[in-house]
C-alpha cells in the first residue's frame, strides 16, 4: 500500500484515508492512492459503502499546483480519478473538513454523497491560478446549484461555508465538529440501509440558461481584462448548459488545456508560490524565538500612522497612539473613527465593533507613555534628523527588548539605528499607503537588526494580514526603488511632448489599472516632491496650486466624480519646464518604445537589487511590485515578465536606449551575466 493511503473496514463501510501533508494536494501519488483505495473496497465483499476522508488539516486542497509545470499531467490523471469515484459500484461518501478546494472539491462532486463539519469550506479558486476547474467542476457544479450561481462561484474563486453549501445543495449533511468519521460512517450505513443508491451529479439537469449568465459576467467585468481564464470559464459553463455531460466534459478539458499552457497561468502560479516564499528567510530557522507582541505604540497620527494603527486594532492588539499636539491627535483619532463608521454604514461592521476597535486606542501626547509597549512604529515626517531624535529618545523610554521600528520609505535605517544604544532592536516596517488597505509590508533589515526581531516581525505581518517582503538597506528599498523609474521616465516623456493620455494608455494596455501620470496625481505631487532639491516639474505644478487629484487638478483636471480631463494650464507648465530644462521634443514615440522606457529600467533595477542582496530572491521583487504597486498579476511581476522577454532581449533593449536616455538604462551586471549564460531571474 502507498505511503499516503490507509484503508480500513468498520462494519460494512470501507474507509479510505489519505494523509499527504501539508494540504493533501492531489499529486500523482495521491490520485493513485485514492483510486487504489476505491479498488480495494470495491473488491471487498464485506464492504457495502465507502467513506473518503483525509488526515491532517484539510480535505484535498486541489491539484498539486507544482505538477502543472511538468505537462502532460501524469496518469492516472483527473479524468481517471473522477471516473473511479463516480463509477464506483458502491456508494462513495466524501467526508470533508478544512478546505475542499479546486480538484479536491471536484472530487467530492464526483462522489455520490458529501458530508462536512461546520468549519469546512468549499471553493473553486482555479481562476486565481489563471486556469479553470478542469476535473469536471464546470460541468457538475451547474447541475448541482444552477448555472448562474455556479458561474459566480467559479469566477469569484471565493469559498463558501458548510452552512451555505448545505443550503444550496452542494453537500448533503453538516455533521458535528470533531466527529466527522463517525458521522460519515453513520451516513454511509443509512445509505446502505436505504438501498445504496448511487446518486450521480452528472445525471441531473442544469437549471438556467446562457442568458442567465449575463448579469454574473457583468458583475465580474473588470476581471476579464488581461486575464484569459474568466472568458474560458464562461465558455465552459455555457457548455454545461448547451451540451450533453460527456461533450461538456470534453469541452472543459480542451479549455483547461489551453489555459494550463498560457503565459498568464504560468505567471499566476509563479505568484502563488512567490507569495508563500516571502516569509522564509534563509538564515532564520524555526529555532529563532518569536517575541510576543501584545501592545504596540505608533508615533504620528497622520495618514500613515493612522492607517498603521488600524491594522493592529483589527488584529485585536491595543495601540498607544502618540502625537505632539492635541489637535493633531484628535484629528488622527477622528479619521480612524470615520473610516470604521464608513465600513459600518456599508453593513460590514456593527456599531458595537466600531466602539470595540476604538476602545483599543490609547491616545497620548508624550512618547513617555510608550514604556510598556512591545513594539513602537515611528511614522513621522521623512527627515533623518527628526527620526534620529525620536529613536534616541525611545532608547531611554522603552523597556529593554522592545522592538523599535521606522516606517521610513527612503531613509538610511542604519543611520536611524545608530541613534540608539541597541541597533539590534531596530527594524524598518515600511507600509504602503493606504496602510490599512495595501497588503504589502516591506521589512527592512538593518546591518545590526537581530534575527529574533526579523523572525518576530515576519510573523507579525501575517497577524495583521500583510505579506512581508524582506529588504536590505538602500534608497527606496525594493518596491519604491524599482518603481521610481516609472515615475521618472513618465515625466521625462511628458517633457518630450508625448501626450499624457498616451503614456497612461500604454501602461493600461500592459495591464496596470492606472497609468503612471494618473498615479502621480493620485499620490499627490506635493508628497512626491518632498525632499527634492532645485526646480522640478512636479514642483512647478505644486507652485501653481496643482497638487493632484485631491486639489481637483494636477497633470490632469478632475471633476467631482474624479474623472480626468486634459488641462491647458498643465500643458503650459510642462512646456515651460521643457524649455527651461532644454528637453528635446520627440512627441511621436511608439507604444513599444514608451513601454520599454517605462518598464525595462524597472526590471534592470530589480536585477540590481538581487545583485546587491537587497532582495532575497527575484520572486520577492515580483510580490513587492504586485502588492505594493498593483503590478498586473497576469504578467507575474517585473522579474517573471523579464524572464518572458529574456535577459538577452532585455539587454539589447537597454543598450539601445542608454545612449539617448542615460543612466537609468545602464544594464546591470546580472542582466549581462544572464544574457550571456541564458539564465533566468526567477531562478535566483
Residues that bind ligand 3HC (CB under 6 A): 22-23, 25, 61-66, 78, 99, 101-103, 106, 125-126, 129, 133-135, 137, 273, 276
HEC-encoded secondary structure of 550-614: HHCECCCEECCCCCEECCHHHHHHHHHHHHHCCCCCCCCCCHHHHHHHHHHHHHHHHHHHHHCCC
Cβ neighbours of residue 12 closer than 8 Å, sequence gap 6 or more: 46, 47, 48, 49, 189, 192
For the bound state, the minimum distance from the C-beta of residue 427 to ligand 3HC, rounded and expressed in Å, comes to 23
Q: Assess contact for 487 and 518: CB atoms under 8 A.
A: no
Smallest distance, ligand 3HC to C-beta of residue 258, A: 14
* Residue 606 cell numbers, joined: 530589480
Closer CB to ligand 3HC, residue 99 or residue 490?
A: 99
Nearest residue (CB) to ligand 3HC, 276 versus 399? 276
Count of CB atoms situated within 10 Å of the CB of 565: 9
* Closest to 475 (Cα-Cα) out of 371, 612, 641, 308: 612
User: Which is nearest to 29 in space by CA: 4, 60, 6, 51?
Assistant: 4
Q: What's the min distance (Å) between Cβ of 277 and ligand 3HC?
A: 7
> Rounded to the nearest whole angstrom, what is the least distance from the CB of residue 21 to ligand 3HC in the complex?
8
Give the span between the Cα atoms of 139 and 394, in whole angstroms.
62
CB 290 → ligand 3HC: shortest distance, Å?
17
φ, ψ of residue 548 in degrees (nearest 5):
120, -165
Of the two residues 51 and 131, which places its CB atom closer to ligand 3HC in the complex? Answer: 131
**Residue holding cell 466602539?**
355
Surface-to-core class of residue 16, CB atoms within 10 Å of its CB (0-12 exposed, 13-18 middle, 19+ buried)? buried
Minimum gap (Å) between residue 137 Cβ and ligand 3HC: 6
- Nearest Cα neighbor of 5 from 26, 36, 27 is 36
Instruction: In whole angstroms, give the CA distance from residue 502 to residue 508.
Output: 10
Residue 515 CB partners (closer than 8 Å, separation 6+): 490, 503, 504, 505, 506, 507, 508
CB of 276 to ligand 3HC, least distance (A): 4
Nearer to ligand 3HC, 37 or 62 (CB): 62
Eight-state DSSP code of residue 40: H
Helices H / strands E in the chain, number of each: 28, 19
Give CA 337 to chain center in angstroms.
Answer: 27
User: Backbone phi, then psi, for 571, in 5-degree steps?
Assistant: -60, -40
Q: Which is nearer to ligand 3HC, 66 or 532 (CB)?
A: 66
Nearer residue to ligand 3HC within complex by CB, 129 or 621: 129
Phi and psi angles of residue 567, each rounded to the nearest 5 degrees, phi first: -125, 130
Q: Which is nearer to ligand 3HC, 159 or 524 (CB)?
A: 159
Beta-bridged to residue 93, according to DSSP, are 51, 113
Active site residues: 106, 126
| 56, burial (CB in 10 Å: exposed 0-12, middle 13-18, buried 19+) | middle
Q: Which is nearer to ligand 3HC, 115 or 129 (CB)?
A: 129
DSSP 292: P
Q: How far is the CB of 69 from ligand 3HC (least distance, A)?
A: 11
Closest approach of ligand 3HC to the CB of residue 102, in Å: 2
Of the pair 257, 499, the CB lying nearest ligand 3HC is at 257
Cell numbers of 639, please? 522579474
Amino acid at each position: 500500500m502507498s505511503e499516503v493511503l490507509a484503508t480500513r473496514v468498520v462494519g460494512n463501510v470501507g474507509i479510505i484515508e489519505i494523509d499527504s501533508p501539508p494540504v493533501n494536494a492531489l499529486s500523482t501519488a495521491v490520485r493513485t492512492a485514492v483510486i487504489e483505495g476505491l479498488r480495494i473496497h470495491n473488491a471487498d465483499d464485506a464492504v457495502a459503502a465507502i467513506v473518503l476522508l483525509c488526515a491532517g488539516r484539510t480535505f484535498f486542497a486541489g491539484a498539486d499546483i507544482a505538477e502543472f509545470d511538468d505537462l502532460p499531467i501524469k496518469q492516472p490523471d483527473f479524468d481517471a480519478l473522477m471516473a473511479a469515484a463516480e463509477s464506483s459500484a458502491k456508494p462513495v461518501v466524501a467526508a470533508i473538513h478544512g478546505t475542499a478546494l479546486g480538484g479536491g472539491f471536484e472530487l467530492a462532486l464526483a462522489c455520490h454523497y458529501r458530508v462536512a463539519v461546520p468549519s469546512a469550506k468549499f471553493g473553486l479558486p482555479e481562476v486565481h491560478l489563471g486556469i479553470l476547474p478542469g476535473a469536471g467542476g464546470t460541468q457538475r457544479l451547474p447541475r448541482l446549484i444552477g448555472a448562474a450561481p455556479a458561474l459566480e462561484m467559479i469566477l469569484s474563486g471565493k469559498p463558501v461555508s458548510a452552512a451555505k453549501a448545505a443550503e444550496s445543495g452542494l453537500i448533503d449533511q453538516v455533521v458535528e465538529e470533531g466527529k466527522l468519521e463517525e458521522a460519515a460512517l453513520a451516513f454511509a450505513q443509512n445509505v446502505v440501509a436505504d438501498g445504496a443508491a448511487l446518486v450521480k451529479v452528472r445525471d441531473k439537469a442544469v437549471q438556467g440558461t446562457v442568458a442567465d449568465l449575463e448579469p454574473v459576467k457583468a458583475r465580474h467585468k473588470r476581471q476579464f481584462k488581461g486575464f484569459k481564464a474568466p472568458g474560458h470559464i464562461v465558455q465552459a459553463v455555457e457548455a454545461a448548459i448547451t451540451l450533453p455531460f460527456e461533450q461538456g466534459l470534453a469541452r472543459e478539458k480542451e479549455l483547461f488545456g489551453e489555459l494550463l499552457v498560457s503565459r498568464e497561468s504560468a505567471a499566476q502560479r509563479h505568484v502563488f508560490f512567490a507569495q508563500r516564499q516571502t516569509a522564509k528567510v534563509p538564515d532564520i530557522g524555526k529555532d529563532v524565538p518569536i517575541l510576543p507582541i501584545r501592545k504596540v505604540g505608533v508615533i504620528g497620527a497622520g495618514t500613515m500612522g493612522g492607517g498603521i494603527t488600524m491594522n493592529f486594532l483589527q488584529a485585536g492588539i491595543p495601540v498607544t497612539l502618540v502625537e505632539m499636539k492635541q489637535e493633531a491627535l484628535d484629528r488622527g483619532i477622528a479619521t480612524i473613527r470615520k473610516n470604521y463608521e464608513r465600513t459600518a454604514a456599508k453593513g460590514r461592521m456593527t456599531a458595537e465593533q466600531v466602539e470595540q476597535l476604538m476602545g483599543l486606542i490609547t491616545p497620548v501626547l508624550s512618547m513617555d507613555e510608550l514604556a510598556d509597549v512591545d513594539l513602537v512604529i515611528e511614522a513621522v515626517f521623512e527627515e533623518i534628523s527628526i527620526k534620529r531624535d525620536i529613536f534616541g529618545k525611545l532608547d531611554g523610554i522603552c523597556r529593554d527588548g522592545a522592538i523599535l521600528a521606522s516606517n521610513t520609505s527612503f531613509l538610511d535605517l542604519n543611520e536611524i539605528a545608530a541613534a540608539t544604544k541597541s541597533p539590534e532592536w531596530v527594524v524598518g516596517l515600511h507600509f504602503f499607503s493606504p496602510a490599512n488597505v495595501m497588503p504589502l509590508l516591506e521589512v527592512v533589515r538593518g546591518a545590526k537588526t537581530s534575527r529574533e526581531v526579523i523572525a518576530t516581525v515576519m510573523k507579525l505581518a501575517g497577524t495583521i494580514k500583510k505579506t512581508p517582503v524582506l529588504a536590505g538597506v538602500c534608497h527606496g528599498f525594493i518596491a519604491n526603488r524599482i518603481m521610481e523609474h516609472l515615475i521618472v521616465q513618465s515625466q521625462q516623456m511628458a517633457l518630450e511632448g508625448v501626450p499624457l493620455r498616451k503614456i497612461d494608455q500604454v501602461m493600461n494596455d500592459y495591464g496596470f489599472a492606472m497609468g503612471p501620470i494618473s498615479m502621480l496625481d493620485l499620490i499627490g505631487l506635493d508628497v512626491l516632491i518632498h525632499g527634492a532639491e532645485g526646480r522640478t516639474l512636479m514642483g512647478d505644478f505644486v507652485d501653481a496650486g496643482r497638487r493632484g487629484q485631491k486639489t481637483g487638478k494636477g497633470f490632469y483636471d478632475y471633476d467631482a466624480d474624479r474623472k480626468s480631463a486634459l488641462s491647458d494650464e498643465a500643458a503650459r507648465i510642462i512646456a515651460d519646464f521643457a524649455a527651461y530644462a532644454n528637453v528635446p521634443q520627440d512627441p511621436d514615440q511608439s507604444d513599444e518604445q514608451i513601454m520599454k522606457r517605462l518598464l525595462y529600467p524597472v526590471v534592470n533595477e530589480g536585477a540590481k537589487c538581487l545583485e546587491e542582496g537587497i532582495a532575497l530572491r527575484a520572486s520577492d521583487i515580483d510580490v513587492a511590485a504586485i502588492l505594493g504597486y498593483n503590478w498586473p498579476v497576469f504578467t507575474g511581476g517585473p522579474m517573471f515578465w523579464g524572464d518572458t522577454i529574456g535577459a538577452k532581449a532585455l539587454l539589447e533593449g537597454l543598450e539601445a536606449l542608454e545612449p539617448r536616455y542615460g543612466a537609468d538604462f545602464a544594464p546591470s551586471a546580472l542582466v549581462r551575466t544572464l544574457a550571456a549564460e541564458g539564465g533566468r531571474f526567477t531562478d535566483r
